[in-house]
Amino acid sequence: MDKHAQMEVEVKVPVRDPKAMRERIVAEGAAPVKERHFESNTLYDYADRSLSAAGCLLRIRELPEGALLTFKGKVVPHEKFKTRPESETLCLDIQAVKSILHSLGLRGFFKYQKYREEFSFLGALVCMDELPFGFFLEVEGDEESILAVTEKLGLDPDTFSKRSYAAIYSEICREKGVPFGDILFKTDNGR
């Protein structure tokens, strides 16, 4: 593993009542880290999709403060949590980052959007995510902090998911018999 990469350990949990969950997170003493904000994410790969084939991910997350460029390595097998090496850096000029990736032969192939609110709680980062297809809690930290958070919030381990939002959405599309595509909020004009 690259000496600059860290091991990301996380789990996603579907949330049926986001208002009640947020109230519980706050009531339990979680500290706000970042207010609710919009994130637009684009995954990049070569034309032959060699990064995806290797189980890796290269993403630009557009934030109000710039572009968060993230590389995630191949998932490491783990019984309960999604675990993989991750390196990321904040770049101030989004267009410059996109231009660099294009110059290297990388192209955006998948987009997804979400609203996210972040909290620090029991040594973990707790993110309340709203996607066009539902609400999820993403808990990231070490194994002990993730288990402490999920236990304190009364989350059922049987609902934990190690899958990406794209994989979760793909399953929803299959179940509904609709084509899989980018995960985008509808705009005012109905798109």
| pLDDT above 60 for 69 | yes
| 67 — pLDDT class (breaks 50, 70, 90) | very high
140 belongs to a structural domain = yes
Residue 170, domain CATH: 2.40.320.10
For residue range 128-186, list pLDDT tens digits in order: 999 999 999 999 999 999 999 999 999 999 999 999 999 999 999 999 999 999 999 98
| 2 — pLDDT class (breaks 50, 70, 90) | low
* Mean pLDDT, residues 101-118: 98
189 belongs to a structural domain = no
| 36 — pLDDT class (breaks 50, 70, 90) | very high
Give pLDDT, residue 64: 85
182 belongs to a structural domain = no
**Residues 109, 169, 25, 86: is their CA dihedral positive or negative?**
negative
Range(s) of the domain holding residue 105 = 6-176
Give pLDDT, residue 3: 60
Enumerate the β-bridge partners of residue 72. Answer: 57, 86
Q: Based on the structure, what is the number of domains in the chain? A: 1
Give the list of residues 6+ apart from residue 180 with CB closer than 8 angstroms, or none: 169, 170, 173, 174
Give pLDDT, residue 130: 98
Query: Euclidean distance between the first and final Cα of the chain, in Å?
Result: 42
Which is more confident, 127 or 65?
127
84 belongs to a structural domain = yes
161 belongs to a structural domain = yes
Q: What proportion of the chain, given as a percentage, has pLDDT over 70?
A: 96
Contact in structure between 97 and 91 (CB atoms under 8 Å): yes
Give pLDDT, residue 187: 76
163 belongs to a structural domain = yes
Give pLDDT, residue 190: 43
25 belongs to a structural domain = yes
Global pTM reads: 0.90
